[in-house]
Structures are given as structure tokens and as C-alpha cells.
Amino acid sequence: MASISVGIFGCGWLGRALAKRLQLHYKVYGAVRSVDSLQKLEKEKITAFKLPAKDSEFWNVETLVVAISPRQEYLKTMQQISENVKARTQQFILLSTTSVYQDDDLLITETSAVDSSKLAVEGENLFKSYWPKGTVIRLAGLMGADRIAGQWGASVVTNTSVNYVHQVDAVEIISEVIKQNIHGEIINAVAPQHPKRALIYKMNCDRFGWKIPSFMEGEEKIIAGRKSEILLRYDYKFQDPMHFWSDN
């Protein structure tokens, strides 16, 4: 296993945590856009590249994880990645988002309809056109560690059931996809329990001394992550978002 190499294109909050986890078992390369991100990876003893060119060592990997946010130049970056990959790369993983789904259903699974107008959906489609056997991991709201629900100071918050995933579980699910050599799947990564947002915000605001916002009703949408548990034989370490910050 130690001989397998993994490239992570995009090493932000999640990508950097993933790189630290994977380097325990693999040779890991990280690709970033900024000098600051480059230095953060280098401090973790991770081989890092700033916008690697086509002849860069970064592309000589067996597994490539695309971990960039669907923002400006998202599709252009995806195209550039496709032009740089080598034949050696056999496993492709895209980190996407559960926000791709339409709001028509109460319970959302991997087969539910997506909103084709969203940039993330365009990115998924482009990814699949380049790598039909690639796997898409749709991440719920990323929380845990220093990302604490309620810390952003919103004055009004919709009190619906949350769809969160802890950073630890997101990293472990990606790791399992790599370890089990999964191909051609779409997988939701989301904690099994979905408490109301007001419960979490009130708890965290009381705990950390933040102002409690006002709450309004909204349409419910539950993202189901059962496939990740069955396919990967994975038990979520943080099943209830009410306990994501127990050790903070």
C-alpha cells in the first residue's frame, strides 16, 4: 500500500486534513493555488506544488482527488486537470456537494434529481465526461474542528433539520473509497442524525458566548447517507451533529 501515490488537487480546510490522514499510508502530493496554502502543506511535511505544470511530479499518481470549490474558473480548472493527468492515474474522485439536489423531495438519496442550473452539477457532468468511472462524493455541510455552527453571526436562521458531516468522517469516507478502490459511484457523505438547526445553534451560542439568532420555518430536506454506510461498510464516528464539538 505504501507504494500507491495520491494527488489532491485543492488542499483547503478539508483537502489539507485529508492529506495529513492519507500520508500515514500513501505517498501524498498536494496542489494549491496560493503560497500561503503551499506553506501550510509544507509544514505538515506534505509534498506540495503551486499550480503544477503538465510535467510536474504531481501528476504521476495512481489516484487523483479533485477537491476544489465550485467557484470562479471551476470548469476551466477541471478542463486543465484533464489535460494534465497521466495514463498512470486509474482512480478519480471528485469532492462535490449535496447542495446539487433539487428541493422537491423530503428524503434525498443519490438517485434524487439534481438542479442542472448549479455550477457544481456542471462540474460533476464535466468530471464524468472526462472520467466515466470516476467516483463523486457529495459532501453535506462540512463541520467540526474550528467550523462551529452558529459562529458566523447570522441574525435570522432557517430552523430546518441539518445535513452536516464532520470533517473526520468526510476524510475517512474519502480514505475508504481510495482503500477499497471504488469506481463509478455517487456517494452522499452526511451524518445519520439530523437535529433541528435551532437546537445546535442555541447549544453552541450558549457554550461559546455568541448571540443567539432568530429562527424562521423553512422547507425540510433530509439527505440520506445510508449508501456510504452499506457500500463502504463504514460507521460514522460522529453520528449526531449535537456532539460534533463535545471536545471543544
Residue 62's domain is classified under what CATH number? 3.40.50.720
Cell numbers standing for residue 176: 475508504
The pTM of this model reads 0.95
Cα four-point dihedral sign 124, 65, 36, 144 = positive
**Residue 209 domain flag:** no
Quick one: pLDDT at residue 1? 44
**Residue 197 domain flag:** no
Query: Phi first, then psi: what are they for 100, rounded to 5°?
Result: -70, -20
**Residue 121 domain flag:** yes
Cα four-point dihedral sign 21, 167, 77, 40 = negative
**Residue 97 domain flag:** yes
Q: Which of 104, 107, 205, 217 is nearest to 160 (CA)?
A: 217
Cell numbers standing for residue 12: 483547503
Helix (H) or strand (E) holding 80: helix 74-84
Give the single-character DSSP code of 144.
B
CA distance linking residue 125 with residue 64, whole number of Å = 17
Q: Which of 114, 84, 117, 107 is nearest to 186 (CA)?
A: 114
**Residue 178 domain flag:** yes
CB 18 within 8 A of CB 65: yes
Other C-beta atoms closer than 10 Å to the C-beta of 124 total: 22
Give residue 211's identity as a one-letter amino acid code.
K
CA distance linking residue 32 with residue 42, whole number of Å = 11
Q: Report the domain count for the chain.
A: 1
CA distance linking residue 16 with residue 37, whole number of Å = 9
Quick one: pLDDT at residue 71? 87
**Residue 170 domain flag:** yes
Counting Cα atoms < 13 Å in the Cβ hemisphere of 182 gives: 22
Domain that holds residue 34: 5-142+165-191+222-237
Cell numbers standing for residue 1: 500500500
CA distance linking residue 184 with residue 133, whole number of Å = 4
CA distance linking residue 40 with residue 54, whole number of Å = 23
Going residue by residue through the chain, which has 248 residues, state the pLDDT in tens, using 9 for 90 and above: 447 899 999 999 999 999 999 999 999 999 999 999 999 999 999 999 999 999 999 999 999 999 999 987 999 999 999 999 999 999 999 999 999 999 877 999 999 999 999 999 999 999 999 999 999 999 999 999 999 999 988 889 999 999 999 999 999 999 999 999 999 999 999 999 999 999 999 999 999 999 999 999 999 999 999 999 999 999 999 999 999 998 65
Query: Phi first, then psi: what are they for 80, rounded to 5°?
Result: -65, -40
**Residue 196 domain flag:** no
Q: Which residues contact 17 (CB under 8 A, 6 or more apart)?
A: 145, 167, 171
**Residue 148 domain flag:** no
Cell numbers standing for residue 34: 496560493
